[in-house]
Amino acid sequence: MSGSETRKQSSVWRLVAPIRGRLIAACGVQALASVAGLVPFIAVVEITRALWVAEDPGAALTWAGIAAGALALRLICIMLAATLTHFADADLQLDLRRQMAARLSKAPLSWFTKTNSGALKKGVQDDFTAFHDIVGHAFTMIVGAACVPIGVLIYLAYVDWRLPLAALVPVAIGGGLMASQMRGQGEKMKEYDAAMARVNAAAVEYVSGIGVIKTFSGTGRAFDRFLERGNAFFDDFWNWVKEVLTVSALMELTLSPPAAITFASGLALLLSSQGIFAPIEGFALVALAPLLTQPFMALAFAQHNFQQAAQAGDRLSALLDTPVLPQPDNETELAGYGVVFENVTASYDGHRDVLRDINLVLEPGTTTALVGPSGSGKSTIARLLPRFLDPKSGTVSIGGVPVTMLPAEQLYRSLGFVFQDVRLLRGSIRDNLAIGAPNADFAEITAATRLAHIHDRIAALPRGYDSEIGKDAILSGGEAQRLTIARALLADPPILVLDEALAFADAETAAALRTALAQWSGNRTLLVVAHDLTSITHADQICVLEEGRIVACGSHSELLATEGLYARLWAATEREEAA
């Protein structure tokens, strides 16, 4: 076994470790079920022996009773084994999903931007299905497939030591064909999973970008690209199948029950006619031969499941090992809620710096606005505060304490943020608003929504604040943004970050929101990212960014007087308004 295959198998064992005891118990019960399932076939031989050779009807009735009891025991054991594995699988999936949610919630934002959406979807959804197959079925299937041939060989050896040798001939042929078929399948399965991830990514990208695609009349071209990836996957898969098709067909034919019976019948007739075997021994070979070959097909399917689970285990383990932003366990007392960026350099990929030597102070009770051309680093500064990204060098501190030294709960109590890319959870309007303030009463909730100019829209919904997002609450981009502003105001953080938070609001609503935020801010610290310069002329300080650096800071009038980049941006804004 190669090093990569060993690593993947170890991933499987690592993931199933919490339920290993129950799996072992289920496998033990399944072994008993397999032995019990073998008894009726043995009973057929012994009943034939009792009636044909010994002429003992009483012994035949005894064996019939034993067979009936064994069948009942087999049914009970199969149901018990399935119950054990499926309950274990449900507990394991719940535990793994919780671990994954907790892990990914601590991952830096840059990790999500670098991770393929199709691969992530495969990891958090499809791979759990592969693990259901292995936990719920494959382990017990392998035990059952192993116990039956062993039991058959033991019984045949009891009847005549030469019978197992005769019975193993088709097994040896089929086993050799199976080994030939399985050679190199681990790498093929890896290629298959990679191709499937590419198809998933193409599907996600096509669906998520359909609005843009239709706007620019690119539906046909985009769909063609999706089809190309699908066709490439089909071609690769068909080439793989063609390589093993002949060997697989021969293997299934050799190990099939009809082939086993045919071979055993011919061999039994030949050897018994020559006096080597007694007829009853030849009958034992014919009756039990299918049980010796059929489990090998189950082993082949189980091996396939294990290969899939090995790949899935590797991906799940990688997700569970996703690098996270380190957090301390204990809270630290803050000396107020002033914010300081000191010599901050930041990078999303660890190579290209998007911010360089940022020094910035946000005093409590003031509003700081960040402006500059697209790509200058405004949003990156905003994302450093909630630790969606940590600085490559330098520190970002709140109340004199670096944000890296604050536990997440304390950090997010101190900080609220509203970004242009709005995210609402599947649930009621009330639940979405109360995420940051779960104990808020209805009066506090409505006060926040009135301040954010969204109360009337919510009240007009079929179930008001109990309306469900995406179901009976279909909100426009501007309405959703105002809802997130209300959510941030309800949490009442001492620091609020607004990154293009009014981008989707019309001019009248945006002006009303700016007035409301100015009244609400009081002694709170506000950091505002804006493209519309007319919306931040009231800010206590405006910082101008260019190519990841702060090139100027001051009030609106001070920056206009310098006739620098801000003055040029303001002149461009006035020309646009005049046009």
User: What is the DSSP code string of 90-101?
Assistant: HHHHHHHHHHHH
Q: Give yes or no for a contact between 33 and 283, defined as CB atoms under 8 angstroms apart.
A: no
Lowest mean pLDDT among 29-38, 61-70, 498-507: 498-507
Q: Where are the beta strands (DSSP E) in 410-514?
A: 415-419, 495-499
Give me the pLDDT at residue 346, please.
Answer: 92
What's residue 282's pLDDT?
80
pLDDT at 398: 94
Our measurement of the distance from residue 132's CA atom to the centroid of its chain's CA atoms, rounded to an integer in Å, reads: 14
> Phi/psi at 506 (nearest 5 deg)?
-70, 170
Q: At 368, phi and psi to the nearest 5? A: -115, 130
CB of 385 closer than 8 Å to CB of 544: no
**How high is the pLDDT of residue 4?**
44
- Residues 460-487 have pLDDT tens digits of 988 999 999 888 888 887 888 888 888 8
Q: 149-153, 330-334, 507-511: lowest mean pLDDT where?
A: 507-511
pLDDT in tens, 56-74: 888 889 999 999 999 999 9
Place of tokens 């191709």: 195
The mean-pLDDT minimum among 184-198, 263-277, 319-333 falls in: 184-198
- Eight-class DSSP state of 564: S
Helix%, strand%, coil% for the chain, nearest 5:
65, 10, 20
Average pLDDT estimate for 302-328: 77
| Per-residue pLDDT at 237 | 67
Give the rounded distance of the alpha carbon of 579 from its chain centre. 49
Residue 488 has pLDDT above 70, yes or no: yes
Beta strand ranges found along 385-449 (DSSP E)? 393-398, 401-402, 415-419
- Indicate if the pLDDT at residue 175 is higher than 70: no
- pLDDT confidence band for 572 (50 / 70 / 90): confident
Which helix (H) or strand (E) is 493 found in, with range? none
What residues form DSSP beta bridges with 342? 395
The pLDDT of residue 475 is 84
Residue 224: the pLDDT is 63
- Joined together, the tokens standing for residue 500 give 């293009």
Q: How far out from the chain centre does Cα 131 lie?
A: 12
Q: Which has the higher per-residue pLDDT, 536 or 510? A: 536
Predicted confidence (pLDDT) at residue 210 exceeds the cutoff of 60: no
Between CA 339 and CA 403 the distance in angstroms is 10
Measure the CA–CA gap between 154 and 150, rounded to whole angstroms. 6
Q: Per-residue pLDDT averaged across 278-300, rounded?
A: 79
Among candidate residues 469, 451, 467, 434, the one with its CA nearest the CA of residue 509: 451
* pLDDT at residue 33 is higher than 90: yes
Q: Are strands 339-347 and 353-362 parallel, antiparallel or unpaired?
A: antiparallel
Residue 428, pLDDT above cutoff 50: yes
Q: Which two tokens stand for residue 107?
A: 């991952």
Query: Which of 443, 440, 476 minimizes the C-alpha distance to 461?
Result: 476
Note the pLDDT of residue 27: 93
Helix (H/G/I), strand (E/B), else coil: 110: helix
Q: What is the pLDDT of residue 342?
A: 96
Under 8 Å CB-to-CB from 130, ≥6 apart: which residues? 305, 308, 309, 311, 312
pLDDT tens-digit map of 344-397: 999 887 788 999 999 999 999 899 999 999 889 998 999 899 888 889 999 999
Tokens of 506: 């019309």
Residue 84: the pLDDT is 94
Determine the Cα–Cα distance for residues 337 and 228; give it in Å rounded to an integer: 54
pLDDT at 8 over 60: no
pLDDT at 243: 63
Strands 415-419 and 339-347: unpaired
Q: CB count, 10 Å around CB of 412?
A: 16
Q: Do residues 115 and 126 lie in contact, with contact meaning Cβ atoms separated by under 8 Å?
A: no
Tokens of 117: 């959406």
Does position 5 have pLDDT exceeding 50, yes or no?
no
Q: Is the pLDDT of residue 2 over 50?
A: no
Tokens 């104990």 — which residue? Answer: 439
pLDDT at residue 9 tops 70: no
Average pLDDT, the chain: 81
Q: How many helices (H) and strands (E) does the chain have?
A: 22, 10
HEC assignment per residue over 258-293:
HHHHHHHHHHHHHHHHCCCCCHHHHHHHHHHHHHHH
The mean-pLDDT minimum among 178-187, 368-377, 495-504 falls in: 178-187
Place of tokens 């499941």: 305
Q: Which of 119, 169, 398, 113 is nearest to 289 (CA)?
A: 169
| Whole-angstrom distance, CA of residue 499 vs CA of residue 380 | 10
Distance CA 418, CA 528 (A): 10
Q: Which of 75-89, 164-178, 549-563 has the lowest mean pLDDT?
A: 164-178
Longest Cα–Cα distance of the chain, Å, equals 118
From first CA to last CA, the distance across the chain in angstroms is 71
Interval 249-284: pLDDT, tens: 676 667 667 777 787 778 778 877 777 777 888 888
Helices (H), 426-476: 429-433, 442-451, 455-459
CB hemisphere CA count around 515 (13 angstroms): 8
Q: What is the per-residue pLDDT for 21?
A: 92
